[in-house]
Amino acid sequence: MRLPLYAFGFLAIAGSTPAMAEPLRPEIETFIGEMVARHGFGQAELENIFGTVKFQPTIIDAISRPATSRPWHVFRPVFINPRRITGGVDFWNNHAATLERARREFGVPEEIITAIIGVETTYGAQSGKRRVLDALTTLAFDYPRRAAFFRDELEQYLLLGREQGADILNIKGSYAGAIGIPQFMPSSYRRNAMDFDGDGKVDLSGSTADSIGSVANYLKSFGWETGGTVVVPAMVNGESYRSVLFAGSKPSYTVEEIRKLGVMTRADIPRDHPATLLELVNKSGNEYWLGFNNFFVITRYNRSVHYAMAVWQLAEEIRTARNSSLKQK
């Protein structure tokens, strides 16, 4: 299915409407009316833009079966492997001064920033091939489960394009509409992206420095604690521990309260420290970890436990490999 063609280009001037153009879908016309009323967009310019949109069923298929839904023992090797570890060491070495500056300013370690970019786009090599406008519009109007979220992101995308004078018809990204080296959704782009290289513009697709600073700024905005523990291994007994398994919320139980439910750790963590329990499914039995505030912060980037754990474990592997290589020099 293809939404009807009207014209070409962002903020295009009306007047080039094809003679045989079909009307836009009613729900899209309603959305356009809201953008005109709330933000002063022109009716014709938005009709021109949405006239170029192509509905893509493959986007619905992709978001309905995310990689993060795979068992941990299947998901982990995709991101914790020699290629990404070596790539992370190279990325860190190539951008060491920028990463160090981001750590100083935001308190986020170099390896965490590097690992997020490594998981998201393999250090900028794979930032997405789908047109963001198509992805966001498809999900906003043909994916009822999260339609409200993606309509908001579509609104943010239009505002971002206007603010930056961007050609929103040709920006490419992920199937979910994420943009650039760090894969920011439009709302995060507007809220957290920053000009970290000092060239007077914010560019998450072309500037690695902007991407590094923006990732650090994003994590800090959600409460990253400088020097804070991310996770520690844990052991469980009985079944009471299931009441404190991570469900997406900020850790609210203390280590002592969790201990009384049959969860133990050999790590030296203060008993009053807020924590949550993580369960990862493996072939030979599940593994358990205590997660703390900084783990929760990583899940603000992607709400999956698998995603956040992959970021942390990749970060640890990169840091270890880089330290080892530096010692050998």
Q: Which residues are catalytic?
A: 120
Distant-in-sequence, close-in-space partners of 35: CB < 8 Å, separation ≥ 6: 41, 46, 155, 158
Name the DSSP letter for residue 53.
-
Q: Are 145 and 252 in contact (CB under 8 A)?
A: no
Q: What angle do CA 72, 73, 76 make, to 5 degrees?
A: 70
Number of residues that this document lists for the chain: 329
Q: Are 133 and 171 in contact (CB under 8 A)?
A: yes
E strand or H helix at 274: strand 274-280
Other beta carbons within 10 Å of 300: 16
Q: What angle do CA 119, 115, 71 make, to 5 degrees?
A: 50
Residue with structure tokens 């579509």?
154
Quick one: how many helices (H) and strands (E) in the chain? Answer: 14, 7
Q: Are 292 and 230 in contact (CB under 8 A)?
A: yes
Nearest to 63 by CA among 167, 118, 142, 160: 142
What are the distances in angstroms from CA 329 to CA 44, 96, 288, 324? 62, 17, 37, 9
